[in-house]
Amino acid sequence: MYNELKTLKDIPEEDFLTGGSPTCSGCPAEMGLKMALKALGKNTIVVNSSSCMSLLCNYPYTPLKVPWLHSAIENAAATATGIVRALKILNRHSTVICYAGDGATYDIGIGSLSGMAARGDPVLYICYNNATYANTGGQWDTATPFLANTKTTPPGKYSKGNLIPPKNMIKIMGAHGIYAASASPAYPLDYMNKVRKAQAMNAPAYIEYFSPCVPGWGYKESLGVKVAKLATETCFWPLYEIENNKITINYKPTQMRPVKEFLELQDRYRHLTDYDISVIQGLVNSDWKELLGGESCKKT
């Protein structure tokens, strides 16, 4: 059981990620860490993989009020294993989280993450998914959506952008038998409650936080939350969780909005024709149908 946040007023006022960090203005990834720390409280240790967020602490400054460790890109989960094991040896209890990008999670660090989940180390792994290697300027990784323009999948005479459909890391992590969920900055209570739920489990958990990227996706910096909200309202980024291999959809839009409304706010889809958009709409429809089917398998 965990202390559920029922309304926005329940969100703790105290911040453990203060101002003055060198992220882009309106960065939803920074919001994701800020909200997670609000939900988790002071007794938390953060591990970052190399990413935009590993540049939060720039000698001699830090915007963090909790302990923090960064070592490399592919090993946040393994590093966190070392921390939780050491805390146990020292007979101290703190929540340990990883806050890692999608490149570090989906690609270079998947072995390290899978190992952590399989060993059952009590770490909450939050992947902030901006669907590219954002810190190096926005290159393709296996979280990049179909047809998106990245620096290494540019559209051109012979290309429509990224032609490799992304992996589903939430299902991959759910298949480890651990708690796995999606989350979004547009639904802060849903996100923070998932963080608290995972914290209370004292077991490995995986939350993937949808993290629009101002320079990478090409939208106005004030629109991050709107972009994220449209992603969920169009069912491009549904909110759901997997627990004991059972899927629960946390939010079902009363009316599914056309994916075009989400795409047209972003420069990374600027090259698409109406036909291309209809192809993406078809993929979104089938993914959503599959998710609904997956949910109906559970006992009600």
Partner 1 sequence: MLNEFLTGNEAVAWGAKLARTQYIPNYPITPQTEIIETLAQWQADGQLEADFCSMDSEHSVMSAAIGGSATGVRVFTATSSQGLELMHEMMYIASGLRLPIVMVNCSRGLSAPITLLCDHNDYLGLRDTGWIMINAQNNQEALDSTIMAFKISESKDVLLPSVVNMDGYVLSYTMEPTIVPSQSEVDRFLPPYRPSHAFLDTRKPMVQGVAALIPDDYTYFRKQVHKAQLNAKHVIEKTCVQWHKATGRHYGLVEKYMLEDAEIAIVTQGSISTTAKAEVQEMRKKGMKVGLLRLRVMRPLPKEEIRNTLKEMEGVAVIDKNLAPGLGGIAHSEIRDCLYDIEEQPIMSSFVMGLGGKTEEMKQFAQIVDMMKKDMIDKRGRVRFV
Residues that bind partner 1 (CB under 8 A): 42-45, 47, 54-55, 57-60, 62, 64-72, 74-75, 77-83, 85-90, 92, 94, 111-112, 114-115, 118-119
Residues 6 or more apart in contact with residue 110 via CB below 8 angstroms: none
Residue 63 or 212: the one with the smaller Cβ distance to partner 1 is 63
Nearest to 71 by CA among 61, 63, 80, 62: 80
Nearest distance from C-beta of residue 33 to partner 1, angstroms: 13
Nearer to partner 1, 80 or 207 (CB): 80
CB of 104 to partner 1, least distance (A): 12
Could you tell me which residues come within 8 angstroms of residue 31 by beta carbon, excluding any fewer than 6 positions away?
A: 185, 224
CA distance 96 to 44: 6
Closest to partner 1 by CB, 37 vs 230, is 37
Nearest distance, CB of residue 110 and partner 1, angstroms: 10
Residue 59 CB, nearest approach to partner 1 (Å): 5
Q: Would you say 70 or 194 has its CB closer to partner 1?
A: 70
In the complex, least distance from residue 125 CB atom to partner 1, rounded to whole angstroms: 14
Closest distance of CB 87 from partner 1, Å: 6
**HSE-up of residue 145 (Cα within 13 Å, Cβ side):** 24
Measured from the CB atom, the residue of 55 and 256 that comes closer to partner 1 is 55
The Cα-based distances of 31 to 24, 53, 152, 171 in angstroms read 11, 11, 27, 24
Terminal C-alpha separation, the chain: 20
Closer CB to partner 1, residue 43 or residue 245? 43
Q: What is the nearest approach in angstroms of partner 1 to the Cβ of residue 79?
A: 4
* Contact predicate 125/95, CB 8 Å: no
Question: Which of residues 88 and 151 has its CB atom nearest to partner 1 in the complex?
Answer: 88
* 64, two tokens: 């963090």
Token reading at 250 = 């946390």
Distance CA 134, CA 213 (A): 8
Q: Which residues 6+ apart lie within 8 Å of 228 measured at CB?
A: 28, 184, 185, 186, 210, 212, 237
